[in-house]
Structure 1
Amino acid sequence: MTGMQMTMRRFRRGPRRARYGLWAMAGLGMFVLQAPECAEAGGAPFSARGGIELAQAAALAWAEDARLIYVENDEPVDAGGNAERWGYLYLSPSRDKYRVYSIENGKIEVATDLGFIFDAPALPETWIDSEQAFLKAEKDAGIDFRAKHAGALESMMLVRGVLHHDEPNKATWALVYSSESSPSLFVLVDASSGDIVKKWRG
């Protein structure tokens, strides 16, 4: 089973704790790289795009052809669609390897190779940020689900070529809400237009 199949299987079954993100999936050691000062320093939550510049710089230093293929929160998402930690997965075709960067406090807390295949195409350069995707999902179904079932958002992930069945080349934000008393809620948001693609319970 490939890494993407593992992720999608977990997505269909339901969420895991957000703090066990890509860096935990890699199952390897942690080390810290000090980054220049940025707006997210000091432990403040930031949007998914808030860590892109740092992750991209590190990825291109690792491999000139590095491409971003996956983004996921590594700590819980707050009421504004931000998190204290985000994970970014890059693919280098020339190296035939995947590398994970987990960013918190304006630093790369984890930078390590992924130990399995994660078969997904590169994300487009333009996509709506986690804040916009979160607010769209909340307005459409999340607020109602949380109120009725004492639920909570467990995970947000950005991926392309897997979940948008009508237009598989498009990237989507996938949001997973869970509740101890009710089946989980899954909401897909088009990462380009911000439209709701699909939602279901399971």
Structure 2
Amino acid sequence: MPELTSNTQKLIQRYISWHQSLQTKEGIPTIHVDEVVSRVASFYEKIRGVIDWREEHLLRKAAIERILKRRLFLRKDGKELAEPLVYELIRGGHFPNDKIPESKIKDVQKIIDKYVFFLEKSPSSEERQKLNLYDWLSSIAACEIEEILSPPIRENALIEYMEEEMRKRIKVNEKLSLSEEEKNIQIYIAVQKALFKLDPPIISFHLLKRKFPNWN
């Protein structure tokens, strides 16, 4: 039997970690919402999801962005938005009940505070530019909130595995003025599109994390 490559062994370990992360940890308080309300809302969201036909992670991201924008419109400073945001997402059936640790609320609030800070410190004075920046930052914030509430351990492991394999196989024509870093970025983007059909905001978020390791 051929020996597994180190890259394949790494993928297997990441999948094991993902499976372990799904298990409820004893002694850690989790977020609970009313079961009846949650089921009704979940049914409605699933019906709407069938009509819209959107992948699960895209549906969650869209819901986060929609709720976040609505709540930021009512309270522009973003203070104390995390808890009602998370509860509404669980009631809507976007995340499981009694699974998310309560400590995640603080993490979500930090994310909201960060992006509100970016908006407030924006040097742009034109209304259209501000609106475009607001839309873009809201979409990136939604990606980060989704990731903190439901870490895509399995998906990221597969993306990294495929990226490493593609790096070994893809050779760039010497006539093209493409650096090794640029080549790797293009491979990284292509892998995400090919494997999961990820949309621009999620890919942008992943690129930000790669460029700035301390982004989140």
Higher-Rg structure is 2
**Whose helix fraction is larger, Structure 1's or Structure 2's?**
2
Structure ranking higher on relative contact order (CA contacts 8 Å, 6+ apart): 2
TM-score > 0.5, shorter chain as reference: no
**Whose strand fraction is larger, Structure 1's or Structure 2's?**
1
